[in-house]
């Protein structure tokens, strides 16, 4: 769909929404990673493991080093898990935002059909066919 954006206004609109998607992703990642790190720090400095995940090779009660190794191990596992959850949660949001902009651009292209007096009837027909193909692509 991005290949059809040849006008400067259309490319600018897509770029604007890509920036909005990046901001949305950044907000989500700050919330998810912030949760993980705040849980780690609050639990670890209280002297308990953050999520109490069983680690068979580390006895966290043995020493302070073992405790911090177990807490770090748990945090790394949770960062991985939270990252996977983040990707699952953010994908529909970003997909919806980009779908919305493509529908808006298609609407703009349909509104521009047959408004250029320099285009022939065949060129206008090709533009209409392109709009129909884009509409079908959006529905898929």
Task: Give residue 83's domain range.
Answer: 2-139
What string of pLDDT tens digits covers the 140 residues of the chain? 666 777 788 889 989 999 999 999 999 999 999 999 999 999 989 999 999 988 888 898 899 899 999 999 999 999 999 999 999 999 999 999 999 999 999 899 888 888 888 888 898 898 888 888 888 888 88
Per-residue model confidence as pLDDT tens digits over 53-74: 888 888 988 998 999 999 999 9
Exposed, middle or buried by CB within 10 Å (0-12, 13-18, 19+), for 75? buried
**pTM for this prediction:** 0.80
Mean pLDDT rounded to a whole number for the chain: 91
The packing angle between helices 121-139 and 64-111, to 10°, is: 150
125, 115 Cβ separation under 8 angstroms: no
Exposed, middle or buried by CB within 10 Å (0-12, 13-18, 19+), for 127? middle
Distance CA 109, CA 44 (A): 57
pLDDT in the model for residue 140: 80
Core vs surface per residue 44-58: b (16+ CB within 10 A) or e: beeeebbeeeebeeb
Domains: count for the chain? 1
138, 102 Cβ separation under 8 angstroms: yes
Per-residue model confidence as pLDDT tens digits over 28-37: 999 999 999 9
pLDDT in the model for residue 1: 64
What does the block give as tokens for 84? 């996977």
């Amino acid at each position: 769909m991005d290949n059809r954006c040849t006008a400067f206004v259309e490319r600018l609109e897509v770029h604007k929404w890509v920036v909005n998607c990046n901001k949305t992703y950044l907000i989500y990642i700050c919330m998810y990673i912030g949760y993980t790190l705040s849980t780690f720090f609050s639990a670890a400095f209280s002297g308990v493991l953050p999520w109490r995940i069983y680690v068979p090779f580390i006895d966290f009660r043995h020493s302070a080093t073992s405790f911090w190794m177990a807490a770090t191990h748990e945090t790394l596992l949770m960062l991985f898990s939270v990252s996977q959850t983040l990707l699952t949660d953010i994908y529909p949001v970003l997909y919806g935002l980009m779908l919305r902009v493509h529908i808006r651009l298609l609407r703009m292209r349909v509104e521009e059909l047959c408004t250029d007096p320099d285009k022939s009837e065949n060129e206008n027909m090709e533009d209409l066919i392109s709009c129909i193909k884009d509409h079908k692509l959006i529905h898929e």
